Amino acid sequence: MKAAALGFAMTLLAGAAPGLAQGAPDWMVGYGSRIGFVATQSGAPVEGVFEDFMASIAFDPDNLAASRVEVVIEVASVNSLSKDRDEMIRSAPLFDAALWPSATFAAEGFTDLGGGRYEAAGNLTLRDVTLPVMLPFTLVTEERDGAVHAVASGELAVLRLDYGIGQGLWQDTSVVGNEVTIKIDIQASRPAL
């Protein structure tokens, strides 16, 4: 599928990962889903998307203890609407996609903040660095045609240098800012229970 805002079209595969806890229903991720980012280059915002990722989601707002999410992103699928910039993002000084082809987010702790707002406690792995993160997100669900449809949206700010994204000259944050916002918009469905 083609993703617009971050320039990454995504092919999504979803299903239950082995070992996901019993009790939380499995969700099928839809083609309108996207994972993207906003960074700054020379002070100007740059948006992009990752066109290929796989997501395994078992989530139940009424059984958060049994809920699990794992997302694997193919780093080489980056699309920021600039071929030269995308090649640089994939290169050794930044993501080094040849050595570390995947980025992962795995969450097993969820908090209900009320009003359709949640927080996922998980680990984000970029390159060879894994750090704990908290991803706030909103969830809107609707039951129709024998299925429950959900839209989850959230943003997470990370510091790229914490993950080693920026070696040598790319450590200079006046060229590429240190803070990067990861944006998720996931559309998913499951059979109505």
The three-state (H, E, C) secondary structure of the chain, written as one string: CCCCCCCCCCEEEECCCCCCCCCCCEEEECCCCEEEEEEEECCEEEEEEECEEEEEEECCCCCHHHCEEEEEEEHHHEECCCHHHHHHHHCCCCCCCCCCCEEEEEEEEEEEEECCEEEEEEEEEECCEEEEEEEEEEEEEEEECCEEEEEEEEEEEEEHHHHCCCCHHHHCCCCECCEEEEEEEEEEEEECC
Both tokens of residue 158?
């990370």
pLDDT tens track for 35-48:
999 999 999 999 99
Give me the mean pLDDT over the 45-74 stretch: 97
pLDDT for position 15: 34
Query: Domains (ranges, CATH) in the chain?
Result: 11-191 (2.40.128.110)
The pLDDT of residue 65 is above 50: yes
Average pLDDT on 125-135 reads 98
pLDDT for 81:
97
- Of the chain, the percentage scoring pLDDT greater than 90 comes to 87
The reported pLDDT for the residue numbered 23 is: 72
Q: How many Å apart are CA 151 and CA 136, to the nearest integer?
A: 14
Rounded mean pLDDT, 76-90: 98
Give the number of other Cβ atoms within 10 Å of residue 93's Cβ: 15
Residue 22 binned pLDDT confidence (cut-offs 50, 70, 90): low
